[in-house]
């Protein structure tokens, strides 16, 4: 076993790399058991494909800051667009979708110009910001809209794209092929599925020069091969970067025993399913004993729809812990598929383009103690367990301001314990779309579902236990035959309340459910230890990481225990 030191700024590959004084510039050839220590605070313009089993990569041993795996290249030499006082341009050869350019301005993401202008530009594919049109005015290859397409010039929408909502709740990006002024019509390549036949449909114009209306936006001119931007800072003193040929950060494929810790992994971009991933694993070859911890993963982008900023498939004994994921566009945050004993814990995931944490076909696994915030893109939720997950513990998580806090379907033995799922006054908190069985929903706070529903489960679900929950909203919607299906009985120790929520930066206000002098659920819950112990998971903590504070007989309802 050897320990290598790498310093991209000051290292030299002729050095031995065996001391901090003689570091390598780039990663040397590693063998099983080696450790590679990257100097913190330094940007490494490379990707890493794990060369052997049992390798440890450490990004913060030289000093306290983290090493930066950076997928971008600096783009200098901007000139002001002739006749404009606010637009700048730079020649740039490129053939992908505009979002793949991933232009950043002094480490701030810039966004492709769009009409209507999104209120939150990161969620550019959210249909909340789209035009509405009658179902009669859209096909799989065309849109007619006299209110928007009313210009006489047939080249007015050249170089533009269109984002189109279609079944089942997906948004496709298509280049506008033709504009027919006399018909108020645009055409594009066929969508991946049909538009909705029973409601108004949605679309937005993407990458149009006519949409460059606000600072922080850009478009790509395909005819003249250049980027045109509307900067928000002084161009001469600001660094601008774009995505490069480096499409991912670290590739785990085929390698077991890997540890990755203490890195910033940022600004990777591409259009293939695994492009833009900070850490990825491809194919069905099984791997095991993977640890990813204490990494900051941010501003990575997929131009179409990526799998995840962290994607681990066909792996056992996986731990993803203590990571911060932020602004990873058009992809999931953490996506684990076909795994066993996968533990995702104590992470903060904020503003992913798709769902924050997703499990597909994971068994004997855990999603615990995570904070998931602001997931509002189309087809994005806070967390989910889908596609034959079995025996998964979802516990002690806090999810807020996401389309739905937690969803699960085609799953068995999902244990949902002591979470706070916040519907933000307009969304569902906890939903099973169907075919979920033998699940336990215990000791949670489902709050701010006022405009919708705290708990929903479909008629194809069975054998649920739902106890000791606070449900603030319009309640529960079993939608089953009460004589044969599941339901929440009056004596199942759930508390249905209605209150408002103080969405200040400081978080939860001291409402009645957090104040023992006002809380109606003290000692009104069921002692759940027999139920919990039967699951085989460890429950030695509550919201404050100590489940043993619970009463020996009656428990308090909800996540808090007042003793």
Q: What is the dihedral of CA 388, 303, 351, 368, to 10 degrees?
A: 30
Domains of the chain, residue spans: 1-71+247-318, 80-242, 408-563
**CA–CA distance, 459 with 198 (Å, rounded to integer):** 23
DSSP conformation class of 138? B
Structure tokens at 84: 């404009």
Quick count: other Cβ atoms within 10 Å of Cβ 479? Answer: 12
| Run of H or E including 532 | helix 529-533
Q: Pairing between strand 383-386 and 404-417?
A: parallel
Could you tell me if 450 and 473 are in contact, meaning their C-beta atoms sit under 8 angstroms apart?
yes
DSSP conformation class of 125? T
**CB-based burial of residue 142 (10 Å sphere; 0-12 exposed, 13-18 middle, 19+ buried)?**
middle
Could you tell me if 378 and 172 are in contact, meaning their C-beta atoms sit under 8 angstroms apart?
no
- In the chain, count H helices and then E strands: 1, 50
Per-residue model confidence as pLDDT tens for the chain (563 residues): 899 999 999 999 999 999 999 999 999 999 999 999 999 999 999 999 999 999 999 997 776 799 999 999 999 999 999 999 999 999 999 999 999 999 999 989 999 999 999 999 999 999 999 999 999 999 999 999 999 999 999 999 999 999 999 999 999 999 999 999 999 999 999 999 999 999 999 999 999 999 999 999 999 999 999 999 999 999 999 999 999 999 999 999 999 999 999 999 999 999 999 999 999 998 999 999 999 999 999 999 998 888 999 999 999 999 999 999 999 999 999 999 999 999 999 999 999 999 999 999 999 999 999 999 999 888 889 999 999 999 999 999 999 999 899 999 999 999 999 999 988 777 788 999 899 999 999 999 988 765 556 788 888 998 999 888 888 755 554 433 333 333 444 457 887 765 443 333 223 333 455 555 566 677 888 888 888 888 888 776 544 444 545 656 678 888 887 76
Upper half-sphere CA count for residue 160 (Cβ side, 13 Å): 24
Angle 12-16-19 (CA atoms, 0-180°, nearest 5)? 95
Which residues, 6 or more positions from 534, have their beta carbon under 8 angstroms from its beta carbon?
A: none
**CA–CA distance, 81 with 239 (Å, rounded to integer):** 18
């Amino acid at each position: 076993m050897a320990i290598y030191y790498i310093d991209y700024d000051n290292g030299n590959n002729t050095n031995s790399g065996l001391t901090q004084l003689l570091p390598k510039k780039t990663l040397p050839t590693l063998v099983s058991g080696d450790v590679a220590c990257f100097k913190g605070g330094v940007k490494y313009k490379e990707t890493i494909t794990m060369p052997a089993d049992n390798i440890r990569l450490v990004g913060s041993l030289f000093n306290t800051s983290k090493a930066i795996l950076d997928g971008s290249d600096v783009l200098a030499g901007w000139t002001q667009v002739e006749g404009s006082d606010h637009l700048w341009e730079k020649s740039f050869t490129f053939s992908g979708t505009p979002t793949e350019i991933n232009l950043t301005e002094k480490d701030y993401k810039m966004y492709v110009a769009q009409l209507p202008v999104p209120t939150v530009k990161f969620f550019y594919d959210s249909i909340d910001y789209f035009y509405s049109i009658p179902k009669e005015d859209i096909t799989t290859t065309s849109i007619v809209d006299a209110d928007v397409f009313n210009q006489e010039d047939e080249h007015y929408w050249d170089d533009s794209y269109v984002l189109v909502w279609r079944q089942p709740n997906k948004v496709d990006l298509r280049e506008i092929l033709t504009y027919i002024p006399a018909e108020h019509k645009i055409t594009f390549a066929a969508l991946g599925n049909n538009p909705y036949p029973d409601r108004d449909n949605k679309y937005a114009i993407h990458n149009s020069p006519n949409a460059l209306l606000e600072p922080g936006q850009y478009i790509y001119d395909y005819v003249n091969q250049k980027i045109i931007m509307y900067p928000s800072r002084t161009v001469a003193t600001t660094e601008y970067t774009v995505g490069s040929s480096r499409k991912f950060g670290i590739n785990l494929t085929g390698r077991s025993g890997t540890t990755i810790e203490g890195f910033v992994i940022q600004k990777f971009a591409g259009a293939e399913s695994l492009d833009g991933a900070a850490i990825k694993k491809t194919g069905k070859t099984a791997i095991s004993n993977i640890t990813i911890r204490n990494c900051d993963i941010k501003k990575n982008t997929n131009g179409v729809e990526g799998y995840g900023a962290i994607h681990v498939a066909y792996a056992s004994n996986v731990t993803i812990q203590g990571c911060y994921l932020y602004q990873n566009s058009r992809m999931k945050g953490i996506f684990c598929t076909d795994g066993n004993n996968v533990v995702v814990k104590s992470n903060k995931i904020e503003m992913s383009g798709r769902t924050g944490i997703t499990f597909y076909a994971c068994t004997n696994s855990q999603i615990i103690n995570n904070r998931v915030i602001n997931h509002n893109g189309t087809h994005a939720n806070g967390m989910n367990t889908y596609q034959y997950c079995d025996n998964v513990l979802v516990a002690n998580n806090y999810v807020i301001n996401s389309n739905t806090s937690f969803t699960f379907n085609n799953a068995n033995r999902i244990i949902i314990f002591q979470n706070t799922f916040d519907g933000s006054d307009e969304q569902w908190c906890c939903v099973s779309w169907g075919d979920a069985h033998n699940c336990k929903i215990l000791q949670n706070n489902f709050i701010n579902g006022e405009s919708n529903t705290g708990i929903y489960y479909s008629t194809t679900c069975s054998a649920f236990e739902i106890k000791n929950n606070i449900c603030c909203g319009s309640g529960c919607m079993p939608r089953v035959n009460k004589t044969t299906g599941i339901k929440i009985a009056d004596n199942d120790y759930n508390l249905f309340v209605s209150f408002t929520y103080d969405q200040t930066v400081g978080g939860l206000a001291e409402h009645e459910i957090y104040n023992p002098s006002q809380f109606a659920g003290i000692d009104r819950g069921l002692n759940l230890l027999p139920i919990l112990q039967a699951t085989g998971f460890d429950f030695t903590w509550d919201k404050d990481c100590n489940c043993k504070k619970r009463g020996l007989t009656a428990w308090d309802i909800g996540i808090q225990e007042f003793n």
